[in-house]
Amino acid sequence: MPQNPARTGWLKPAVFSAALLPLAWLIWRIAANDLGPDPAQELAISTGEWTLRFLLVTLSLTPLRHITGRIEFVRIRRMVGLFALFHAAIHFTVWMSLLLGFRWFAIGEELLERPYISIGFLALLILIALGITSPRAMVRRMGKNWKRLHRLIYLAAILAIVHLTWILRTDVGEAVLYGSILALLLAYRFYRRFAK
């Protein structure tokens, strides 16, 4: 069914405002001194979790578009993906500044020697590459390679789940939940590919 673009004019500002809420809530908690006994760790955990949530929401938008037939889901995909990158950048900055105090040698050492950190960093690098190539002009300039490159978002999500599972050690409930959502999204993608 053809859809009137004018009717979706409110959608992007609404999604943009909603996507700022987690950060606004975090800033509120910082101002209220309500981050618990280890504020730095709480900030790292919270920003990491929101990175993963935005990543999974980004991945679910194309299936939602197929299932519902509504093009609006695809119109907000780039924005939601950039919010994942935005939160990943904050997560990384919290790690460098609050957890490691900008000690560059320690930062380099951890990046190279702690597998869960290296894995998270690789996921971040993928998100940066996708963010840089996300403008429409890049889509046109890269042609088929754009699609190939942007499939790496699945790899970023898999790396993020490994990163999370490695950190959780004992309480794996969260990793199972997010991992199951990703498995479902991957299964849907393979189903579409082979059904064609």
User: Can you tell me which residue has the tokens 């490691």?
Assistant: 100
Report the residue number, 52 or 59, with the smaller CB distance to ligand HEM. 52
Q: One symbol per residue from 102 to 141: x for binding ligand HEM (CB under 6 A), - otherwise; what is it?
A: ---------------x--xx-xx--x--------------
Kindly identify the residues of this chain, within the stretch 17-46, that bind ligand HEM according to CB under 6 A.
41, 44-45
Position among 26, 56, 153, 164 found at the interface with ligand HEM (CB under 6 A): 164
Q: How far is the CB of 139 from ligand HEM (least distance, A)?
A: 22
Q: Sign of dihedral through CA atoms 22, 24, 29, 35?
A: positive
Q: How far is the CB of 94 from ligand HEM (least distance, A)?
A: 8
What's the CA gap between 153 and 27, in Å, rounded? 28
Q: How far is the CB of 196 from ligand HEM (least distance, A)?
A: 29
What's the CA gap between 88 and 98, in Å, rounded? 15
User: Can you tell me which residue has the tokens 């053809």?
Assistant: 2
Q: Using a CB cutoff of 8 Å and minimum separation of 24, what contacts does 32-39 make?
A: 39/98
Q: Does 81 bind ligand HEM (CB under 6 A)?
A: no
How big is the site for ligand HEM, counted in residues (CB under 6 A)?
A: 26
Position among 73, 83, 86, 92 found at the interface with ligand HEM (CB under 6 A): 92
What's the CA gap between 83 and 54, in Å, rounded? 7
Report the residue number, 35 or 99, with the smaller CB distance to ligand HEM. 99
Report the residue number, 56 or 61, with the smaller CB distance to ligand HEM. 56
Q: How far is the CB of 86 from ligand HEM (least distance, A)?
A: 11
Q: Is 50:114 a contact under the CB 8 Å cutoff? A: no
* Nearest one of 183, 149, 151 to 165, comparing CA atoms: 183
* Nearest one of 58, 56, 28, 54 to 43, comparing CA atoms: 28
At residue 40, the 3 state secondary structure works out as: helix
Site for ligand HEM, rule CB under 6 A: 41, 44-45, 48-49, 51-52, 55, 88, 91-92, 95, 99, 117, 120-121, 123-124, 127, 156, 160, 163-164, 167-168, 174
